[in-house]
Amino acid sequence: MTSFVHGRHRYLIPVDEGRTADGLGRARTYDWPASAVEVTRAQAQEEDVDVVVLQRPHELDHLASEWLGGRTPGADVPAVYLEHNAPQGRIADMRHVAAGRPGLTVAHVTYFNDLFWDCGDTPTRVIEHGVVDPGPRYTGELARTVVVINDAVRRGRVTGTDLLTRFRRVVPVDLFGMGSAALGGWDVSQAVLHREMACRRVYVHPVRWTSLGLSLIEAMHIGMPVVALATTEVHEAVPPEAGVVSNRVEVLETALQRLIADPDEARARGAAARMAALERFGLERFLTDWDSLLGEVAA
């Protein structure tokens, strides 16, 4: 959303009295432009909306219509369902909630997700992540690795939380993310997170099964070398010169030890990571892709 609201449009952000999950309003830990405007339910019902972007099943089922004064997404208001997540469960059961729903387009954030989700005859589009460039901030002065996982305890094996114990046997590992305090980690603002990431030598991405993590892309933008599991879309996103990608944990352990011990190699691979991230996950490309889709849907 931080990247999305940096476009050239006016973005209506639902807000309710308690700033609940259905009305969080503007982000309070990220820098959003003034064009991201908070609207109450009463205000939203009076707005002339060009496109509604849905992100959760109950938004499609009833919530968006309630906020829009009874207007139905896909029928009365052009609509895009933005799917952030990789599907869970058996391949044969991975039918998307928007499958077969007339008037909708599903936007996936990775080609892997587009391949695995069954959206039936609902049109799909892949718009890969784009991030606001934090700049080439890498120093790597601390001979430590950094991992960023939100809800690491709850998500467990999905995010590779169990692998941290194994990695810590060979290198120091610092954990950041929401809910990480229970594991000795830190939950900090984005600005602080980028600063803390940049001074550590290697970024580790132990995620087994999820969409391509924004923290991975941000680490590459910062100029960090990457050591990651070769799952979902990672092998496409991280070129060989930017780090080491493998599903053999011993290969990852060896790479971590080597990069910790060799700041020059770490810096060179980090520079390659930044070049790759700017080319593939830059904000301009991201917003151009979204402008194209929004224009098509609105028309």
29 has a pLDDT exceeding 80: no
CA angle centred on 45, ends 42 and 49, rounded to 5°: 135
Q: What is the pLDDT of residues 192-212, one digit of tens each?
A: 999 999 999 999 999 999 899
Query: Where are the domain boundaries for CATH 3.40.50.2000 in the chain?
Result: 142-281
Q: What is the pLDDT of residues 200-250, one digit of tens each?
A: 999 999 999 989 989 999 999 999 999 999 999 999 999 999 999 999 999
Q: What is the pLDDT of residues 243-296, one digit of tens each?
A: 999 999 999 999 999 999 999 999 999 999 999 999 999 999 999 999 999 999
Question: Which top CATH class is 142-281?
Answer: alpha beta
Which has the higher per-residue pLDDT, 67 or 94?
67
Q: What is the pLDDT of residues 164-194, one digit of tens each?
A: 999 999 999 999 999 888 889 999 988 899 9
77 has a pLDDT exceeding 80: yes
Q: Report long-range pairs for 262-270 (Cβ below 8 Å, ≥24 apart).
A: 263/140, 263/201, 265/225, 266/140, 266/201, 266/202, 266/225, 267/138, 267/140, 267/223, 267/225, 269/225, 269/226, 269/241, 269/242, 269/243, 270/138, 270/140, 270/222, 270/223, 270/224, 270/225, 270/242
* pLDDT the model gives residue 30: 79
Answer left, alpha or beta for residue 223, where phi above 0 means left and psi between -120 and 50 means alpha: left
pTM, to two decimals: 0.91
